[in-house]
Amino acid sequence: MSTFRLSLLFSLCLALFSTKLESQSPSWQPTAGHAQVRIWPGKAPDARPFTGPETVKIEDKELVGGKPWTYINNVSQPSMTVYSPKGKNSGAAMVVFPGGGYQILAIDLEGTEVCDWLTVEGITCVLLKYRVPGEGKLPKSGAYPKSPEALEDAQRAVGLVRFHAAEWHIDPHKIGVLGFSAGGHLVAAMSVHFDRRLYPAVDAADKESCRPDFAVAVYPGHLSLSDDGPGLNPDIKNHISRQTPPTFLLQNEDDIVDGVNQSLVYYAALKKAGVPVEMHLYAQGGHAFGLRPTRLPVSKWPRLVDTWLKTIGIVPSDSK
């Protein structure tokens, strides 16, 4: 083969390789100054094969608050990213579970933007990138108990935060969870499944309690047996006790993705068990709005959480 043909073949191969690289989004990375930490020292429990690498996509057609939002596919390597408080540290911490139907993770809309709010309030934010199989790829139901991976990751993360509480300047008795949509279901699952780990202990962090001290579920899903029926998912209902942490619930009556009944049936069950619970329902706002401001009153919901955290003694009443 002539030198010219070899050079042409090399150029074509390089062009094809470059095109392939450009067509694949890199795995998600936090902003400068923050680092992801893998939550498992070795192979994660109950790991299953994934059909492709973790990728990041931008949704620029269905805008939220007039802006695109970013989501992650094929999360097989769970991690957490710690965002330290800005200004005065309240000592409280919140482990955040982005939503996405247990298929994707809305990593900015229901993740990093939440941490921006919490850290200003003096709360350490721990963003959990938990395992999800990717769009339309649910060989098992994404929710526990049919699929244990996300709850395993959440249990592990809360234990790790409590294990590192002194190092991260966190009060080990003020560690809560906050989640959206499927992440809201994960909040409820963590609130009732904390007495035992779903996996064998791997180190000292798994000897720490994984019970949240408080819980915030925003437009949660997977709680009601049906959008218009009265039944609560038995895997949640049968495990509610007086040890279930104080809970804050928020949902819109026009939520057509996860109907308002999701919050109603959970609220009723918590009240019956004597668990402190506060619920806020709004007429309009739909689903998956995150913290982005709109003309609708529901977009002011972070103020309600701020007030609630003060009333239950998680942050001081004079905290800014």
- Distances, alpha carbon 276 to alpha carbons 94, 172, 187, in Å: 18, 20, 15
305 sits in which H/E element: helix 301-311
| CA dist., res. 254 & res. 243, Å (int) | 32
| CA dist., res. 310 & res. 122, Å (int) | 12
Q: Where are the beta strands (DSSP E) in 213-276?
A: 214-218, 247-252
- The model's pLDDT over 96-106, given as tens digits with 9 standing for 90+, comes to 999 999 999 99
Reference 93, options 187, 249, 212; nearest CA is 212
pLDDT, position 49: 79
- Whether residue 89 contacts residue 77, with contact meaning beta carbons closer than 8 Å, is answered with no
Q: What is the per-residue burial (b if ≥16 Cβ within 10 Å, else e) of 117-133?
A: bbbebbbbbbbbbbbbb
Q: Where are the alpha helices (DSSP H) in 42-181?
A: 113-120, 149-163
**Which domains are delineated in the chain?**
25-311 (3.40.50.1820)
Question: What does residue 302 show for φ and ψ, rounded to 5 degrees?
Answer: -55, -30
pTM of the model: 0.89
- Whether residue 80 contacts residue 126, with contact meaning beta carbons closer than 8 Å, is answered with yes
Share of the chain above pLDDT 90, in %: 78
Q: Can you tell me whether residue 264 is helix, strand or coil?
A: helix
In this prediction, residue 25 has a pLDDT band, given cuts at 50, 70 and 90, of very low
Average pLDDT over every residue of 120-131: 97
Please count the residues of the chain. Answer: 320
Give residues with Cβ within 8 angstroms of 107, minimum separation 6. 28, 56, 70, 71, 72, 98, 127, 129
Is residue 141 over pLDDT 90?
A: no
| CA dist., res. 119 & res. 122, Å (int) | 5
Which of the residue ranges 33-42, 204-213, 220-229, 310-319 would you say has the lowest mean pLDDT? 220-229
| CA dist., res. 11 & res. 6, Å (int) | 9
Average pLDDT over every residue of 138-146: 68
